[in-house]
Structure 1
Amino acid sequence: MLRGSRIVLGVSGGIAAYKACALTSKLVQQGAEVKVIMTESAKQFVSPLTFQALSRNPVFTDTFDEKDPSKIAHIDLADWADLFVIAPATANIIGKLANGIADDMLSTTLLATEADVYIAPAMNVHMYGHPAVIKNMQTLDQWSYKFIEPGEGYLACGYVGKGRLEEPESIVKAIANDRNDQQILKGKKLLISAGPTQEKIDPVRFLTNHSSGKMGFALAQVAAECGADVTLVAGPVSLDTPANVNRINVISAEEMYQEMLKHYDDSDIVIKAAAVADYRPAKTYEHKIKKKDNDMQISFERTRDILKELGSKKENQFLVGFAAETNDPIAFGKQKLASKQLDAIVINDINASGAGFKSDTNVVTYIHRSGETNHFKLATKQEIAKQLLKQINKDSKVD
């Protein structure tokens, strides 16, 4: 997958810079053309001449060192790259990138590139766990930057823990696997719903639920990264639209119903991850309901069952539902799988540790209509999305 790729390797200033030498060599051995950018701090650990010899290309260290007057070096390099790798990625360069700081050759080129960027962090275990570093990495993750997590072990500072730069062989394998994954949904049209709905009572009040939309948005993000044409029907959430995703905002269950049906016939894979209200007020009020001394009762009526309607109209689509349960999740999930005529269901026990609505992590069980079951252990919602989409893609091909 890397043969013929044009890779820019960014080396920032950490003791793990020596591993970047081996990484350069291995990328070249894979048939990639590699150009290296070094920060001033990185030069304190390894000589630019080393990378020049290994890559057989000039090494870039200074934004203002314009070797070719017909080009602006950092823009030309940013446009040249098929992909970008930062290894080691220090807390400093991660912070710069997350906050749009461009004050050297590496940071300016990173902000200018539209290529995929792979970040391999390396730092002290306490630095890696610092709230500022975590926040910066979460920001970059939301912007579709890709992380190659550090390993655990003895660190140069003497501590033992997570923060050691992943081995060059593993970095190359992770990049190659990800490049391969980017093709698995190419040509497929995915329709995904996410978030809660709001059912109006009066101009200032509505009924809703705790869904944050994070799981559905993670699915949309990863699906787009895997080459799919993604339409995301989103309830009212405060989340940024993933790159290359067509987002349609809705508020009520009825609006979500209409949009899902509108795009259903043209979809290959449909994933209903939204938490749609089952009931809505039978009557809504044009003006705010005033407080009274006595109790108040509100009558409710059923909303349309979107998933059941999609199941009844299913032709060639591979239809996946979600079931958020608090008790007997597997039993209720299987019941929903059968009654809604689904191809598969993702069961979420919201009482499980790390699996709540607003959590950044999840624990799910995936059941195919054949009965085949896959349990996905605690992981970030992006990682869960990757595992789910691989399984869904596999099952949709078999079906």
Structure 2
Amino acid sequence: MRVLFLCVFYLASSQVFADDKQAFKQWLSALKQEAISDGISKNTVNLTFKKAKLIPRVIALDRAQPEFLSTYLAYLDKRVNTAVVEKGRMLQQEHEVILDAVQARYGVPKQILVSFWGMETHFGRSQGDFDLPSALMTLAYEGRRADFFRQELMHLMHIIDAHHHAATDLRGSWAGAMGQMQFMPSTFLNHGVDADLDGRINIWTSLPDAFSSAANYLAKSGWHADEPVAIQVKLPKNFNYALAQLNVRKSVAAWSQLGVEVPSFWLDMDNTAILLPQGWKGPAMMVFGNFDVIMQWNRSVNYALAVSNFADQLAGEVPLVVETDVETDALSFNQIWALQAKLNELGFACGKPDGFPGLKTQEAIRLYQATQQLPQDGYASPSLYHRLLEN
């Protein structure tokens, strides 16, 4: 279904772009003047736009919806499997001197940096194959967040103007991210580091620059060297699952008083939350301040937990303990949409249905679960869907 959508949208977008050449030409002319007024040299502006073109597939990807939303454990198995962890360990050892130096300077563990590296680009192998000026131009002209991408395009031209990368053959993701760690241009300008002191910030082929830039970003975002990201904990049988959400914060000692089993050496930590990424039958995770730092990098809870788990395994810790009765199936985008519509119909407000189980949807589910004497984990599970829509 998603492939069909992309094909149909691609054809429709191609026709729209073909019919809109004059409007685009005027827009591009104004953008060039804006760039020059922003202090970017005419030479850089001309080189940036010399081969740039609108890419219908970028808009198709920007507007596409996933057919199925992955469960946390399925996501983890795909992104942090045995082969990936082994590759990470090998590369961590191979680049140990660089990683140790970066860790000593910024306080960010080398395992975290290698984890990000693997998650973002498969250790540098998949940095994106879209012409970056063209992708950002397309999103700035036709995308859902045109103003944001217009600014990112300006930032990219400043990067080119400062000779960090040539305008030709500058490639990245369809959404404008680039390099070993997939920095947006604004992130590059704010946090990029010339660690190898060659006169330019090279996050594409220089690992000292790439690792240092990532560590600098995390350090400036509030990374604490003396605390973990997330740990698996055991909850008591009488635990109030409504407390398991990111905005409910307690000290580790307070959680311990509620019966949560936590290693004693973390008892002096504060500002922690408990998450149930796959419902009350799945693993229970206690997250710390560094989890919030990772969430600034990527707002996905599954992503942040996967980075943590990957880093833990690189450090030699055991994988998660998972009970056998956890619900393993995922709801589709359409099923989530229908679930949201049903909750709204029953008076459990979760906002306009969008197919994604965000915070409002989770709270609506908890309220519904409370009326049914169910564990209030807020999880959009298949069993909840069947209870609501198929009874």
Q: TM-score range by the shorter chain?
A: under 0.3
Length-normalised TM-score, structure 2 = 0.27
Length-normalised TM-score, structure 1 = 0.26
User: Which has more helix, going by share of residues?
Assistant: 2
Higher relative contact order (CA 8 A, sep 6+): 2
Higher CA-based Rg = 1
